[in-house]
Amino acid sequence: MLENFIYYLKVERRYSENTLVAYRKDINQFMEFIAVNDKEAFKRINFRDVRAWIIELKDHSISNRSINRKISSLRALYKWLRKEGDVFDNPMVKIVAPKTEKRLPHFAKQSELNKTQVEVSIDDFEVFRDHVIFEIFYQTGIRLSELINLTDSQVQPAYIRVIGKRNKERQIPISQQLFQLIEKYKSIRENEAIDATYLFVLKNGKKLYPKLVYRKINSYLSQVTSLDKKSPHVLRHTFATHMLNNGAGLETLKELLGHANLAATQVYTHNSFVQLSNIYSQAHPRGQKTN
């Protein structure tokens, strides 16, 4: 049953491998707790069984955020079981997800990232590659998985064509300066006689792996900011926050980030409040600060 469900998520819903791994783990955990492993047994499960599992998770100090993810996995399973006609009663209807604190995204200041605008030597392939990767993260806000899977043909003079979650495609505008930087990197890669399937590769032509990219971005950010978190995703948050602070609308930002709904984008409005406060104090005659 579980493998059929995972196959459905992969083929029809086009979920990523990471999401599939998480769903399989969550549902296996529930099945072990409730001691069931087939469709017939799932027909006998009620909301009290699910609540008992949630209490068990809480007793083991599992965070509300993680519990909510597990509940979402179970909701998706029961939705599929009903679609297949294997169950009629859905115990998840009476399950209320525990509240979670909204974590505000970490982002670097614009003044901090100005320090990264330096000339980089073209003599070192890896150094120049890492510089271009940093610039793409900051100037486009793409995800780590999206960057790793970029190919040469996805880069055009005015935009980058990105394949996001569930194979959803979007176009992100890029500056002429960034396009020229990418072209220079490709020229260096060719001079090194590196045969590459993907845009960004190791010196041997093999695909980049997430831990390497994480390390490189962490090193870059460590030089300019004292943030606790220094990752590619922080640059995605930074891109979004700086875009909003400089006048971009939420709908536009939603499309650029590849969010499925506006709720995911609205978290960045909290980070932009300082900017709004500054504009208010400068623009309103009675809002101006006095010395």
What would the pLDDT profile of 51-72 be if each residue is shown by its tens digit? Answer: 999 999 998 889 898 999 999 9
The DSSP secondary structure of 47-62, one letter per residue, reads: HHHHHHHHHHHHHTT-
* 195 shares a domain with 89: no
Q: What CATH number did the domain enclosing 17 receive? A: 1.10.150.130
Residue 99 counted as domain residue: no
> Can 236 be counted among the known catalytic residues?
yes
Q: What is the pTM of this model?
A: 0.69
* 122 shares a domain with 63: no
For the beta carbon of residue 91, count every other beta carbon within 10 angstroms.
18
Domain membership of residue 133 as a residue range: 110-279
Residue 290 counted as domain residue: no
What pLDDT is attached to residue 273? 60
- The residue from 236, 237, 242, 254 that is catalytic is 236
CA dihedral 242, 245, 246, 251 (to 10 degrees): 90
> Could you give the C-alpha distances from 145 to 16, 149, 167, 232, 248, in angstroms and in order?
10, 6, 12, 10, 25
User: Considering only CA atoms, which of 244, 243, 234, 251 is closest in space to residue 269?
Assistant: 244
* 201 shares a domain with 228: yes
* Overall number of domains in the chain: 2
* 221 shares a domain with 147: yes
- Is the pLDDT at 73 greater than 70, yes or no? yes
| Mean pLDDT, rounded, for 222-230 | 88
Residue 257 counted as domain residue: yes
Assign 238 a pLDDT band (cuts: 50, 70, 90): very high
* 136 shares a domain with 188: yes
For the beta carbon of residue 283, count every other beta carbon within 10 angstroms.
9
> Can 165 be counted among the known catalytic residues?
yes
For the beta carbon of residue 164, count every other beta carbon within 10 angstroms.
17
> Can 143 be counted among the known catalytic residues?
yes
Residue 105 counted as domain residue: no
Question: Are 262 and 253 within 8 A, CB to CB?
Answer: no
* 128 shares a domain with 46: no
What would the pLDDT profile of 125-153 be if each residue is shown by its tens digit? Answer: 999 999 999 999 999 999 999 999 999 99
What pLDDT is attached to residue 275? 60
- The residue from 165, 170, 184, 186 that is catalytic is 165
